[in-house]
């Protein structure tokens, strides 16, 4: 009979226990022992829940207090010296210093953070110094394995593989891949420990195999995995890649000394027939990822069973593992809290716990021909919408080029050199959350709720004027999240009550569901922005989330191309943009932090995506007048391979997260001779540190080495929603002071 195998499970807990305890620890309201105990309880609960659901092979090591890539770096001693003084190897002090930094005069900046492939999960980028060595410095995973085995759990250790750990990191002054011979012995030590503890299978995740790798990387695999397999014996190795096809690497990985090879058959169904045609070595079993680990719709059981039964016929059922396509980290935990959702829609959904049931049911159905064929709705049986026609005359290019628009906007806005602004949101206080909660529960009248929001908007505007910012924001007090907020106001969307998903650390989001054609019901932001602008003479930005980001950060329907769904969202945002302009808003920001995230992992697939994604942004923004200034914001990204697409967006001002890279991300804009204005983040908002004036001046100087002063805006890295006011206010004061001091160094020029 086939084996039910799970690749990973959500870490956060049913009541977001990990978030609450971790943030209490950061605030000094919980100690190391309490935080560790919460982690241990959540791990135990997750293991037992999976075992009770009938999972035959349960992952151990998928839990993390912040990030699993950071865990792997710490495990093998890749801890830069500057963090050691905060508690030493294996301590929470060092761990969180690497993840978040430490404030104060003796503080330290965190490691860089970036997107986990094409997901909205962020990982901490390992840093490998000159002369980097590796050893098993933090054996916590061994302890977790023993703990699980003592509970009678059929445990399988899971950790990031050596190739991915190196290629996802940054090596100072060299090629990270050159460190592989040094890293493999440390992995061998840990694998031997797993075998000695009683593991019979160890999973190494190598998702970089779904990307275009240099020949050197593929050539290094056989020798490395031969050494790893020898050290792990008698335990076998399971290699897992996901998010795409193995491509040219498939021939290499099929020859590795593996016990199990995982295939993501949701993203790359072609890998299975290719592998079966090439021939599966006699000792190799296949983990077939037929349940979507990145979306929430029920599995098309007929399609899944077709792949599973085909593999079982070729190999024998005992050599088939039924798995999700990737870790279930990327979906909400359970449907149990969604009783208020319409029954028809709820019947189509499947969160992490329910996906465990799907795995078990598919295993059982493999031995029972005809089972399940009518239980799960396939994509073909989900009713398609009627489509959304594009309005006649909706342009996809601005009326005039940037060189023409720029002086018109400068004359209208009258901004100083190096203008200062923020990205959009201000801290979401407990009072704001209480307001929204009471309004949702009917405990607060609409009038009282709106009065409270207007009061908060007024406070934030007065604060920004007092600090001295040049272009203001209303602070987004009315918004729970930059995507969920719009999902609540657009037709074709549904929102969950408890559908939390980890984005990074303790930052959780509730992605909405796109289940039908998307249309705008009416104005979504206009009244709030219009009110905010009435309180000040300075320009207030209208704040919108862009169509690509709304698509990427939602669970999208899978019965039509993503490009069509994105186009529908773009048309809805276009209507909002035009209403904002008609209301007198002079600056409109349409954020696309997920633009780079949506880029396909293989180069051959990228041109088509960039074409429709860029067009959707322009469709949303190009109908405005020349004197209306369009801003956009993008998150941590390597922009080199998409710089032409960014230029094609033709935003008047683009802000990017750049501080953790020391402004190195600007090199792509410099080499491309990017013509429009740029606001590189001059300080990192993901850390509680308050940067000093001199530190921010250093960031501005670094930016001026790469940009013309007339191009440069000064702003934080990202929105301020997750920070506290006692962190935000001094940081912004220092930012404004730094910008003003640097203005003396640049000749006054016409502003963007």
CA distances (Å), origin 159, targets 18, 418, 511, 627: 20, 45, 27, 52
| Side-chain-side CA neighbours of residue 426 (13 Å) | 26
Chain centroid to CA 411: how far?
A: 38
Q: What are the two backbone dihedrals, phi and then psi, of residue 203, each rounded to the nearest 5 degrees?
A: -100, 125
In whole angstroms, what is the distance from residue 217 CA to residue 450 CA?
A: 57
Q: List own/partner pairs for 50-53 with CB under 8 A and 24 or more apart.
A: 50/6, 50/9, 50/356, 51/152, 51/153, 51/154, 53/353, 53/356, 53/357, 53/359, 53/360
Helix (H) or strand (E) holding 463: helix 446-467
Tokens representing 651 are 């935003």
HEC string of 481-513 equals: CCCHHHHCCEEEEECCCCCCEEEECCEEECCCE
Residue (of 407, 371, 398) closest to 617 by Cα position: 398
Length of the chain: 752
Q: Identify the three-state secondary structure at position 418.
A: coil
**DSSP string computed for 170-197:** EETTS-GGGGHHHHHHHHHHHHHHHHHH
Active site amino acids? 686
Residue with the two structure tokens 């009315």: 478
In whole angstroms, what is the distance from residue 613 CA to residue 608 CA?
A: 9
What is the four-CA torsion angle of 401, 621, 583, 589, rounded to 10 degrees?
Answer: -100
Q: Do residues 294 and 350 lie in contact, with contact meaning Cβ atoms separated by under 8 Å?
A: no
Cα angle value 714/716/721 (rounded, 5°): 145
Output the CA torsion sign for 51, 53, 56, 60: negative
In eight-state DSSP terms, residue 540 is B
Q: What are the two backbone dihedrals, phi and then psi, of residue 550, each rounded to the nearest 5 degrees?
A: -60, -40
CA distances (Å), origin 662, targets 132, 173, 545, 638, 705: 22, 15, 27, 13, 12
In whole angstroms, what is the distance from residue 535 CA to residue 611 CA?
A: 40
Buried b (16+ CB within 10 A) or exposed e, 310-323: ebbeebebebbbbb
HEC string of 654-700 equals: EEECCHHHCCCCHHHHHHHCCCCEEEEECCCCCCCCCCCHHHHHHHH
Q: Do residues 752 and 410 lie in contact, with contact meaning Cβ atoms separated by under 8 Å?
A: yes
**DSSP string computed for 121-155:** -EEE--EE-TT-------THHHHHHHHHHHTT--E
User: What's the farthest any 2 CA atoms get from each other in the chain?
Assistant: 78
């Amino acid at each position: 009979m086939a084996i039910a195998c799970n690749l990973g499970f959500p870490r956060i807990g049913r009541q977001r226990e990990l978030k609450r305890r971790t943030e209490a620890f950061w605030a000094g309201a919980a100690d190391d022992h309490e935080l560790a105990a919460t982690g241990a309880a959540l791990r135990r609960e997750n293991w037992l829940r999976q075992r009770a659901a009938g999972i035959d092979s349960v992952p151990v090591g998928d839990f993390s207090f912040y990030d699993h890539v950071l865990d792997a770096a710490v495990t093998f001693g890749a801890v830069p010296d500057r963090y050691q003084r905060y508690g030493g190897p294996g301590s929470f002090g060092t761990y969180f210093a690497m993840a978040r930094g430490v404030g104060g005069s003796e503080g330290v900046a965190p490691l860089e953070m970036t997107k986990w492939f094409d997901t909205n999960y962020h990982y901490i980028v390992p840093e490998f110094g000159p002369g980097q060595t590796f050893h098993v410095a933090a054996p916590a995973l061994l302890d977790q394995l023993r703990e699980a085995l003592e509970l009678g759990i059929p445990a399988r250790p899971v950790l990031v593989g050596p190739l991915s750990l190196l290629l996802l990191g940054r090596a100072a002054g060299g090629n990270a891949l050159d460190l592989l011979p040094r890293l493999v012995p440390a992995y061998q030590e840990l694998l031997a420990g797993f075998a000695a503890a009683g593991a019979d299978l160890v999973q190494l995740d190598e998702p970089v195999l779904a990307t275009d790798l240099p020949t050197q990387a593929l050539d290094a695999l056989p020798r490395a995995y031969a050494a790893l397999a020898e050290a792990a014996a008698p335990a076998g190795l399971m290699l897992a890649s996901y998010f795409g096809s193995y491509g040219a690497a498939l021939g290499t990985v099929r020859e590795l000394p593996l016990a199990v090879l995982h295939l993501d058959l949701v993203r790359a169904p072609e890998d299975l027939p290719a592998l079966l045609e090439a021939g599966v070595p006699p000792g190799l079993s296949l983990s077939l990822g037929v349940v979507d680990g990145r979306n929430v719709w029920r599995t098309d059981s007929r399609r899944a069973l077709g792949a599973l039964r085909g593999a079982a016929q070729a190999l024998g059922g005992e050599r088939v593992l039924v798995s999700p396509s990737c870790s279930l980290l990327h979906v909400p935990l359970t449907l149990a809290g969604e009783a208020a959702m319409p029954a028809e829609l709820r019947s189509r959904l499947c969160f992490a716990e329910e996906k465990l049931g799907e795995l078990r049911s598919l295993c059982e159905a493999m031995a029972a021909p005809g089972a399940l064929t009518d239980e799960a709705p396939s994509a073909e049986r989900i009713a398609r919408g009627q489509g959304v026609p594009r309005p006649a005359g909706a342009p996809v290019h601005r009326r005039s080029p940037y060189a023409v628009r720029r002086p018109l906007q400068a004359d209208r806005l009258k901004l100083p050199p190096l203008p200062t602004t923020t990205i959009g949101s201000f801290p979401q206080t407990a009072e704001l959350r209480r307001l929204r909660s009471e309004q949702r529960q009917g405990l607060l009248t609409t009038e009282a709720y709106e009065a409270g929001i207007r009061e908060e908007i007024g406070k934030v505007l007065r604060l920004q004027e007092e600090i001295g910012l040049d272009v203001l924001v209303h602070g987004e007090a009315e918004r729970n999240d930059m995507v969920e907020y719009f999902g609540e106001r657009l037709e074709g969307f549904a929102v969950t009550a408890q559908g939390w998903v980890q984005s990074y650390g303790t930052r959780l989001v509730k992605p909405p569901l796109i289940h039908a054609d998307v249309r705008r019901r009416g104005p979504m932001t206009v009244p709030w922005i219009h009110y905010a602008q009435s309180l000040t003479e300075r320009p207030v930005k209208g704040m919108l989330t862009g169509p690509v980001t709304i698509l990427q950060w939602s669970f999208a329907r899978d019965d039509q191309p993503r490009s069509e769904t994105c186009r529908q969202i773009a048309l809805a945002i276009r209507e909002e943009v035009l209403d904002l302009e008609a209301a007198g808003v002079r600056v409109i920001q349409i954020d696309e932090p997920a633009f780079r995230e949506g880029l396909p992992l293989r180069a051959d697939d990228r041109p088509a995506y960039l074409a429709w994604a860029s067009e959707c942004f322009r469709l949303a923004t190009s109908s405005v007048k020349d004197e209306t200034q369009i801003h956009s914001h993008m998150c941590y990204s390597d922009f080199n391979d998409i710089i032409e697409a960014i230029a094609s967006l033709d935003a008047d001002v683009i802000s990017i997260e750049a501080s953790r890279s020391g402004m190195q991300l600007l090199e792509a804009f410099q080499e491309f001779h990017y013509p429009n204005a740029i606001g590189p983040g001059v300080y990192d908002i993901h850390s509680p540190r308050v940067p000093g004036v001199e530190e921010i001046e250093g960031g501005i100087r670094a930016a001026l080495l790469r940009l013309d002063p007339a191009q440069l805006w000064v702003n934080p890295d990202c929105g301020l929603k997750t920070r506290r006011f006692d962190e935000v206010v001094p940081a912004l004061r220092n930012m404004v002071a730094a910008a003003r001091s640097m203005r003396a160094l640049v000749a006054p020029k016409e502003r963007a």
